[in-house]
């Protein structure tokens, strides 16, 4: 039953990955789009913490956790976000549903070494903006649209170096396409102008992790982690076409392909700087945990020459996450709610983008439940999560995004790939 469900999830996830819009944020017009969460739903609901690891869950952002893996773990995540976009003049309420991730991990040697592989979105572009300008009674309308994004396929390995000391590494392959268009129509002029740009993007980066989890008493454990996500080196193959068209019909009249070789823009490099993350936590195994993480990134070095925006500059980025979980009694037979995992957290992100002289920041409050799926799947859970957050401001002509996100994660653990033994 569980394995048939996993196959169905894989099919749904693959369809979702190819069909989703990803985001509806005007801020996705900057950089290479909105950077997506790389955490499992379980970790997202603890503010995005990656410091906590165990032996039955797939950790998407900390490969060192594979050194503790005892069972085959497979997971998928989906989300739906309701957003309120506000300026001083107007308000909109778009929504978007997304595939979050799909992954499989299995131990090579139980609780000593393991590997994982999967796919997840890395960034998303999705916006539709309109700008009206009136000069001497003549109105010009500019419409800016964008879609696409970058996905990430990963392969991870981790092993136990010493008792309670684990290390791991991940290689990530990035691939995707971003399409941007600008349409300009002026009153009294028969033809409009269309400027379309396309970037096919690919490249690699690496993620390294180390965890040390010493016992500080007979029941309590200190959790520590260091993660380094190395500089992402992407290559963008670019195309640009400018054409005139009839506004009423959309029929192209004349178009030219821009010679990007002249300005060395046919192939460009996109470098996303290294991120360093430190984590610290404390808890009792299978009962409770609290922790914090702090990450820094020299995002001031980011550059995308082909799709650059005039009103944004980049500064160093940072993130702070706090969170934890509580399980009343995971061995309870009589009371199901005692076996539920209750999670909560919060996060504060400085994205590293400064738009119209205002830093773009994001604040989120997260909470959720890990619901055991019953006797047939002792280590399997349905994870339901919620996030309330706000990004941006209405000052300096910007847009404030207030959002409510609902996430659904499926986490299974089984004994696949283990040889049967007869005693």
What SS3 string covers 323-383? EEEECCCCCCCCCHHHHCEEEEEEEEEEEEEEECCEEEEEEEEEEEEEEECCHHHCCCEEE
Domain ranges across the chain: 29-118+146-173+203-232+272-414
Tell me the pTM: 0.89
Asked if residue 18 has pLDDT above 60, the reply is: no
For residue 225, the model assigns a pLDDT of 97
> Domain 29-118+146-173+203-232+272-414 carries which CATH code?
2.40.160.60
For residue 9, the model assigns a pLDDT of 47
**Predicted confidence band at 1 (pLDDT cuts at 50, 70, 90)?**
very low
Q: How far apart are CA 106 and CA 161, in angstroms?
A: 18
Q: What is the mean pLDDT of residues 11-15?
A: 48
- Count the helix, strand and coil residues of the chain and give each as a percent rounded to the nearest 5: 10, 60, 30
Q: Which residues contact 143 (CB under 8 A, 6 or more apart)?
A: 128, 129, 130, 131, 181, 182, 183, 184
Across-strand partners of 349? 319, 362
For residue 215, the model assigns a pLDDT of 94
**Predicted confidence band at 138 (pLDDT cuts at 50, 70, 90)?**
confident
Asked if residue 419 has pLDDT above 60, the reply is: no
For residue 331, the model assigns a pLDDT of 86
Asked if residue 337 has pLDDT above 50, the reply is: yes
Q: Which residues contact 188 (CB under 8 A, 6 or more apart)?
A: 138
**Predicted confidence band at 251 (pLDDT cuts at 50, 70, 90)?**
confident
Asked if residue 19 has pLDDT above 50, the reply is: no
Asked if residue 423 has pLDDT above 50, the reply is: no
Nearest CA to 332 out of 341, 321, 324, 323 is that of: 341
User: Which tens digits make up the pLDDT trace of 177-229?
Assistant: 999 999 999 888 888 999 999 999 999 999 999 999 999 999 999 999 999 99
Q: What is the token pair recorded at 261? A: 């070789």
Q: How far apart are CA 17 and CA 385, in angstroms?
A: 20
Q: Terminal CA-to-CA distance of the chain, rounded, Å?
A: 27
Q: How far apart are CA 218 and CA 339, in angstroms?
A: 22
Asked if residue 103 has pLDDT above 90, the reply is: yes
Helix (H) or strand (E) holding 177: strand 165-186
Please state which of the ranges 127-136, 161-170, 364-373 shows the lowest mean pLDDT: 127-136
**Predicted confidence band at 133 (pLDDT cuts at 50, 70, 90)?**
confident
Asked if residue 142 has pLDDT above 80, the reply is: yes
Across-strand partners of 119? 102, 153
Asked if residue 420 has pLDDT above 90, the reply is: no
| Block residue for tokens 């080196």 | 233
Q: What is the mean pLDDT of residues 151-174?
A: 96
For residue 134, the model assigns a pLDDT of 83
Q: How far apart are CA 320 and CA 88, in angstroms?
A: 29
User: Average per-residue pLDDT in the chain?
Assistant: 89
| Block residue for tokens 């670019």 | 238
Asked if residue 309 has pLDDT above 90, the reply is: no
For residue 249, the model assigns a pLDDT of 80
Q: How far apart are CA 314 and CA 107, in angstroms?
A: 41
For residue 379, the model assigns a pLDDT of 79
Across-strand partners of 200? 177, 237
Q: How far apart are CA 139 and CA 129, in angstroms?
A: 16
Q: Please check whether residue 71 is in contact with residue 413, taking contact to mean a CB–CB distance below 8 angstroms.
A: yes
For residue 269, the model assigns a pLDDT of 94
Q: How many CA atoms lie within 13 A of 192 on its CB side?
A: 22
């Amino acid at each position: 039953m569980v394995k048939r469900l996993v196959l169905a999830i894989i099919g749904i996830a693959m369809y979702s990955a190819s069909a989703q819009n990803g985001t509806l944020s005007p801020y996705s017009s900057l950089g290479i789009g909105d950077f997506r969460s790389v955490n499992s739903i379980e970790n997202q609901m603890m503010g995005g913490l990656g410091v906590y690891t165990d032996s039955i869950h797939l950790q998407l952002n900390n490969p060192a956790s594979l050194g503790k893996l005892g069972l085959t773990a497979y997971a998928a995540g989906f989300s739906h976000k309701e957003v309120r976009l506000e300026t001083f003049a107007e308000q909109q309420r778009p929504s978007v549903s997304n595939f979050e991730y799909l992954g499989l991990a299995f131990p090579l040697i139980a609780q000593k070494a393991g590997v994982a592989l999967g796919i997840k979105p890395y960034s998303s572009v999705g916006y539709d903006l309109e700008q009206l300008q009136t000069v001497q009674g003549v109105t010009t309308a500019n419409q800016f649209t964008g879609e696409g994004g970058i996905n990430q396929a990963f392969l991870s390995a981790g092993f136990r170096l010493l008792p309670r000391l684990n290390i791991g590494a991940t290689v990530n392959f990035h691939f995707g396409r971003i399409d941007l268009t600008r349409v300009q129509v002026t009153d009294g002029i028969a033809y409009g102008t269309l400027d379309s740009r396309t970037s096919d993007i690919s490249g690699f980066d690496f993620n390294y992790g180390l965890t040390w989890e010493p016992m500080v008493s007979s029941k309590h454990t200190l959790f520590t982690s260091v993660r380094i996500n190395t500089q992402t080196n992407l290559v963008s193959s670019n195309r640009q076409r400018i054409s005139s068209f009839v506004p009423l019909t959309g029929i192209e009249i004349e178009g030219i392909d821009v010679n990007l070789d002249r300005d060395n823009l046919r192939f460009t490099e996109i470098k996303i700087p290294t991120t360093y993350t430190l984590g610290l936590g404390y808890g009792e195994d299978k009962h409770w945990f609290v922790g914090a993480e702090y990450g820094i990134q020299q995002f001031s070095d980011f550059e995308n020459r082909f799709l650059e925006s005039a009103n944004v500059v980049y500064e160093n980025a940072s993130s702070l996450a706090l969170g934890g979980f509580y399980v009343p009694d995971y061995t309870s037979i009589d009371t199901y709610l005692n076996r539920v995992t209750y999670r909560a957290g919060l996060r504060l992100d400085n994205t590293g983008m400064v738009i119209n002289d205002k830093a773009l920041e994001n604040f989120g409050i997260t909470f959720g439940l890990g619901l055991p799926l019953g006797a047939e799947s002792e280590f399997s859970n349905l994870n339901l999560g919620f996030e309330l957050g706000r990004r941006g401001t209405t000052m300096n002509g910007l847009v404030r995004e207030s959002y409510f996100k609902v996430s659904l994660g499926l986490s299974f653990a089984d004994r696949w790939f283990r040889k049967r033994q007869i005693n």
